[in-house]
Amino acid sequence: MDRSSINLYVWMPTEDGNISSSDITYVSLLDDCIHVPQNVHDITFSDFTLEACRGNGIYGNNVHHVQIQNLEIRNTGLAGARLNGDTRDVTISQCMIHDVGGGIKLAGGKRGLLESSGAVIENNEIYDFSRLGAVNYHAISVYSVGHLVRHNTIYNGQYTGIWFMGNDIVMEYNHVHHTCMNASDCGALHTGRDWTTNEVHVNIGGGRDNIVSNNVFYGSTRYSMQVDGRGVGHDHDGDLKHNLHARIHFDVMV
């Protein structure tokens, strides 16, 4: 920015830093490409391309019975699709999501009552994610209760493939590779700091009833599997105990 001449100069991401007449440059003023009003239900997004917004490709809060299918979502500042609150009966399937902040971020159900969201995330291809930064930009992140995440292909990201936090979350038949490209405290599947979630991942630091079966691990830089003892002299023991106390208190109140 040359403030004296009020000119903005851009060095293009090409070999010579120049731009040709055939190149297309987007300067978006949109926050979210599509903002679904709160509590909307019975809506389908299908068979189109969504791109070039500063925020999320699709954003909604407390939405029910929403289908997002066969979309290409690309070039967003934040998530390709972000559904917050008590989302129920949402299906995101057969989408190609790339060049985004995070891929899919979804919360739903009620943990205090273990009421399932009924959400399904399946048969999506998510790659070239975490474009803005590394930590907290996941390909898929799910929160609360009762999600099914299966048959997704995830690759080329700075941070975690699938982040999960909650209960009764099923993750199966996903192909995750070339993630954690710019982070160390990270995983293909990753969760932590809360004993009340279903902690099933390959660096197992506590939790209960951890089962890891029928997986193929390759190309690990340190360990394919590691187990250690959180809660006995670990740096984040305070977080674990705080979350456990908060969850017990909430459940008693409910």
In sequence order, which residues have a C-beta less than 8 Å from that of residue 232 and are 6 or more positions away?
Answer: none
188 or 152: which carries more pLDDT confidence? 152
> Does 75 have pLDDT greater than 50?
yes
State pLDDT tens for residues 224-254: 777 766 666 666 667 767 776 765 554 544 4
> Does 201 have pLDDT greater than 50?
no
Instruction: Tell which residue, 224, 158, 169, has the closest CA to residue 194.
Output: 169
The residues spanned by each domain of the chain are: 34-212+233-253
- Give the pTM: 0.77
71 or 28: which carries more pLDDT confidence? 71
- What span, in angstroms and rounded, lies between the C-alpha atoms of 6 and 9? 10
- What span, in angstroms and rounded, lies between the C-alpha atoms of 206 and 191? 11
> Does 117 have pLDDT greater than 50?
yes
Strands 162-167 and 81-93: unpaired
Indicate the average pLDDT of the chain. Answer: 85
58 or 132: which carries more pLDDT confidence? 58
Question: What residues pair up with 145 in beta bridges, in sequence order?
Answer: 167
How confident is the model at residue 253, as a pLDDT? 47
> Under a CB-based contact definition with an 8 Å cutoff, are residues 83 and 108 in contact?
yes
Query: Would you state the torsion angle of the CA atoms of residues 134, 139, 145, 148, taken in this order, to the nearest 10 degrees?
Result: -160
State pLDDT tens for residues 95-110: 999 999 999 999 999 8
Scored b (16 or more CB within 10 A) or e, 160-170 reads bbbbbbbbbbe
> Does 199 have pLDDT greater than 70?
no
